[in-house]
Amino acid sequence: MKISLKYRLQPLLEIKERAKKKAEILLAKAMARLEEEKKRLKKLEEEKQEIIRKRKEIRRHLHEHVCTGQAKVKESNFGINFLKRLEEEEKQKDQQIEQQKQVILDCETQVKRARREYIDAARELKVMQKHKELWRKKLQLFLSRKEEDEMDELGNIIHQGRIQMGDRGSSGMLHRIKRGSGFAGPSELTGV
């Protein structure tokens, strides 16, 4: 069995890593835009409250002048026109606020979509990383078994070599006995 030492799906793993980073950046941008739009809505609402405050103040001022008899026709007309203009501004702010609320809903939808894409990309990357880890463990097991097999084979070769050397050593000893090298052979011991 031949096994590659290089993870064959590494390019795909790198693509998944880049996809996750891209999704993470898009999510961060979508969330930042949502926060900006919420701040803009808050500012519009504050501007509307300021218009309402000014209207109340002008009404109170006009009411005081009318009640005390200090009001002049010209001032009263000016005040009434100013109130009408403030009412128009308030209506415009209401429209802007409604439009901004719609923008915020759109941004929230984009954040949800970006979050879903990020979660999917992270999940796909995790699957690939887990696959690579299993491949690495399988490779280690394969290499370990291969090393064990090679060590067993080497041990057998050494053992066979020792056996063969031992046979020569015994036959060499028998050869010396037969030549009369001082060792008594079986026939010499029995006297036959």
Structural tokens at position 147: 């090393």
Q: Identify the pLDDT of residue 97.
A: 96
Is 174 among the domain residues? no
Low-confidence stretches of the chain (pLDDT < 70) are: 1-3, 66, 70-75, 167-192
Domain limits for position 123 = 10-141
Q: Identify the pLDDT of residue 12.
A: 94
Q: Identify the pLDDT of residue 1.
A: 56
Q: Identify the pLDDT of residue 47.
A: 95
pTM to 2 decimal places? 0.65
Structural tokens at position 164: 């063969």
Is 181 among the domain residues? no
CATH number of domain containing 79: 1.10.287.1700
Is 151 among the domain residues? no
Q: Identify the pLDDT of residue 167.
A: 58
Structural tokens at position 186: 């079986």
Question: How many domains, the chain?
Answer: 1
Is 131 among the domain residues? yes
Is 176 among the domain residues? no
Q: Identify the pLDDT of residue 61.
A: 81
Cα→Cα distances 133→8, 20, 137, 165, Å: 13, 19, 6, 47
Is 73 among the domain residues? yes
Residues 6 or more apart from 70 whose CB is under 8 A from it?
64
Tell me how far apart the alpha carbons of residues 173 and 150 are, in angstroms, rounded to a whole number: 34
Tell me how far apart the alpha carbons of residues 93 and 77 are, in angstroms, rounded to a whole number: 24
